[in-house]
Amino acid sequence: MAEPMLQSMRWVSALSTRASLEAAVKDVVAQAQQQIQTPDLALVFISSAFASEYPRLMPLLQEMLSVPAWIGCSGGGVIGIDATGQAQEIEGKAALSLTLAQLPDVKVHPFHLTTEDLPDLDSSPEAWIEVIGVPAQEQPQFVLLASPTSAGVSELLQGLDFAYPGSVKVGGLASVNSLSGSSGLFCNHAHYQDGIVGVALSGNIVLDTIVAQGCRPIGQPYRVAAAERNILTQLEEQVSDDTACGLTRTPLEILQALFQDLDPADRALAQHSLFIGVAQSAFKQQLEQGDFLIRNLLGVDPRTGAIAVGDRIRPGQRIQFHLRDATASADDLSTLLARYRIHCTSTTSPVGALLFSCMGRGESLYEEPNFDSQLFTQHVGQIPLSGFFCNGEIGPVGGTTFLHGYTSVFGICRPAE
């Protein structure tokens, strides 16, 4: 007797730009069902042009498609694969993106949480595990979609890192309807205007991540010699990657010297696009692009030479100044994608990917459409890609999950074995 064929992990993305919601739903379902008839998970991203019709989305989809687990949200734009097989980033007009995934040997656990559901940060890991409903030993991978008006997103990320330290968490903040102030969040049969929806995936699955923060480093790294909360007062120079020389200066003195060494183009850019990168590893000697968490430089005190940063900084951490523009953003993503392509040669092959990109990127940054998605395809290949333009992006840097801005976060799905 012939042995039954083993199912393989499969992923399909479909995109429609029909102006009618009914037509868009029929379009994406027809495209997707040509490739997967029995999906285990569906993800749907709908542009804010359909804001008045969010409550109709799930009933329309479920009339045509039977899927045991759904999550999705509204976006400032949506990303998907069009009928010709090309990745498209649709900004500023009606669009609908549908992803279907066939995930053999994977447990799929969707959930919706409100701020009131979240334990406080003093709670044990067990309290967070109880809220999510997935044991820590299953090492789930998370996709998280949240309303930007929901308090507690950063606390949720800290709690999930605490309870599931080896798990990847990616996602983004949904768009907000400018008239009502509400978001579109979708979990199974329901439409929510607030909170967090997500899915925990455990079993034979890996989510690889690329977090492109759109910046390039300038100057050299420094150790923080003195800081209070988010105020840097003294920085220590280094004679090598792991050795400080003991010479300390104020951040303003270092900035003034650095400014003199920049070329005219970077000097002009530094006037409005200067950021602080905070190294996330205390042990890595040779810091590379992607090792820094990028945070805003909030202000300078010319009297003391101190600078204020948009995050808490501790003495002993390493920082480096960064610049951001379209060229820096493209170079950053290219570097990280090239590094990932090398990594792919020693792993199972990716089957699909999600892209969570800041609304400050896209065509407004690059002055051309589909930039990040096309760069991804050039480096990683023609795998199904979907996602949306976010009000904030969720992704890990140095093993800790953060809420970012001006960032593109990729979650790349492949079987573990």
**pLDDT tens digit sequence for 190-246:** 999 899 999 999 999 999 999 999 998 999 999 999 999 999 999 998 755 555 556
H or E element at residue 211: strand 206-212
pLDDT of residue 247: 84
Residue 180 pLDDT > 80: no
pLDDT of residue 203: 97
pLDDT of residue 3: 43
Give residue-wise pLDDT tens across range 253-289.
999 999 999 999 999 999 989 999 999 887 888 887 7
Which residues on neighbouring strands pair with residue 99, listed in sequence order? 13, 43
DSSP secondary structure string for all residues of 232-265: EEEEEEEEETTEEEEEEE-HHHHHHHHHHHS-HH
DSSP secondary structure string for all residues of 343-361: HHTTSPPP-EEEEEEETTS
Mean of pLDDT values over 311-339: 93
Give residue-wise pLDDT tens across range 105-141.
999 999 999 999 999 988 999 999 999 999 999 999 9
Residue 176 pLDDT > 90: no
pLDDT of residue 243: 54
pLDDT of residue 288: 79
pLDDT of residue 178: 63
Task: For residue 372, give the nearest of 174, 158, 210, 198 by alpha carbon.
Answer: 210
pLDDT of residue 240: 55
Residue 290 pLDDT > 90: no
pLDDT of residue 245: 57
Beta strands in 265-330 (DSSP E): 274-279, 292-301, 306-309, 318-324
Mean of pLDDT values over 163-192: 88
pLDDT band at 2 (very low <50, low <70, confident <90, very high): very low
Mean pLDDT, the chain, whole residue set: 92
Which residues on neighbouring strands pair with residue 238, listed in sequence order? 244
pLDDT of residue 146: 96
Q: Which residues contact 273 (CB under 8 A, 6 or more apart)?
A: 323, 324, 325
Residue 78 pLDDT > 70: yes
Given phi > 0 = left and psi -120 to 50 = alpha, else beta, which region is 370? Answer: left
pLDDT of residue 346: 77
pLDDT of residue 96: 98
> What is the rounded distance in angstroms from the CA atom of residue 74 to the CA atom of residue 183?
7
> Which carries the bigger pLDDT value, residue 149 or residue 209?
209
pLDDT of residue 281: 81
End-to-end CA distance of the chain: 27
Longest dimension (CA), the chain: 84
Task: For residue 49, give the nearest of 87, 83, 76 by alpha carbon.
Answer: 76
pLDDT of residue 37: 87
Q: How many of the other CB atoms lie within 10 Å of CB of 109?
A: 16
For the whole model, what pTM was predicted? 0.92
> What is the rounded distance in angstroms from the CA atom of residue 108 to the CA atom of residue 139?
12
Q: Calculate the CA 194 to chain-centre distance.
A: 19
pLDDT of residue 151: 80
pLDDT of residue 121: 85
